[in-house]
Amino acid sequence: MANWGFLGAGSIAASSLAPAVHAAPEARLYAVAARDGARAAALAPHRSYAAYPDLLADPEIDIVYVALHNSAHRAWVEAALAAGKHVLCEKPLGLSEAETASMARAARAAGRTLVEAAWNRWHPRTRDMAAALADGAVGRPLHVTAHFHGLAPAPDNYRRDPALGGGALYDVGYYALSATLAAFAWQTPHVAHARWERWGAASADRVVSATLAFPCGGTAEVECSLDGTLGEEFTVHGTEGVLRLSDPAFTAGADACTLTSAPAHGAADVRQYAATDPYELMVTDVDRALSGGTGFLVPTAQSRLIAQVIDAVRAEAMRADGEAGLARRAAPVGAAREPRTGG
């Protein structure tokens, strides 16, 4: 049985990972480290720590789950690896491709396993979607539409703070980009266009849209937001049909959902999925893999590619934002008004 240690006792740890570890047959929530002792104790671990280094020094812990805000991932992932622990870290693994690569190198140097906790990758529908596209269910993908519009965070939530790794792109855009890259067999795309909007000049991004062009000739339109207009869409148009995930396209689990492959000729294949807990599937697979068995793990190469594409989208959005600002400053007063004609 694997002993798990949590760094952080926030909402995801409390609502999803702690119940999953308690439910998994070969896992035990051995320890939780958190500044708030009551929140740590609420997760029902065997023991609690007030300081993260104390948990990492515990020789009984096999795997550490990092549930901290995004900007803290790299430091504590690398500290856990150096302490000889395997690590499951919340997505996004790093705030850049460079950070993600650094963590991957640290895992290799320590001889330990590092896994990005992209929990929806363990949902059976997500796995079947990737397999169906790889098997040519709708031919060669031509165009993907991937939209994720999520809840608006509270004014004091870290998702609004760029210094803490906030923003729609890191939070919900990750899911849309991950599914899009999977549809195109993890090819590296060119970011043809990107733009973003913020809550304020010093805040993180509230809305992001991007157009991606892939080496195979396919394209994708990716949109994400944290503005409260809820909805998730994922559609693949291929040379021989259309594949579609029912809403919620990326965060299914609590309710039943479907995967529809509609070939250009013939009957549609509609696969039904009962409600399931992808978090428990993730914990179970990580336990199996680390004990020498067979269990799915998100490859770090894919985590690095997602981070690389996020880097490119952010760079293009910043470039476009800068050019728009220059254009606004250069426009003469009243330039936006229609010229008056006639008498």
Determine phi and psi for 11, rounding to 5 degrees: -65, -45
pLDDT of residue 266: 86
Amino acid identity for residue 190 in this structure: H
Q: What is the pLDDT of residue 329?
A: 56
Is 91 catalytic? The answer is yes
Q: Which domains does the chain have, with CATH numbers?
A: 2-117 (3.40.50.720), 121-323 (3.30.360.10)
- pLDDT computed for residue 139 by the predictor: 97
Cis amide prior to 248 (ω within 30 degrees): yes
Tens of pLDDT, residue by residue over 207-231, are 999 999 999 999 999 999 999 999 9
**Catalytic pick from 73, 85, 91, 112?**
91
pLDDT at 38: 96
Q: What CA–CA distances, in Å, run from 222 to 56, 125, 210, 296, 304?
A: 38, 20, 5, 26, 19
Counting as low any pLDDT under 50, the low residues of the chain are: 333-343
For position 332, what pLDDT does the model report?
A: 54
Q: Which two tokens stand for residue 53?
A: 């280094």
- pLDDT for 54: 98
Burial of 306 (0-12, 13-18, 19+ CB in 10 A): buried
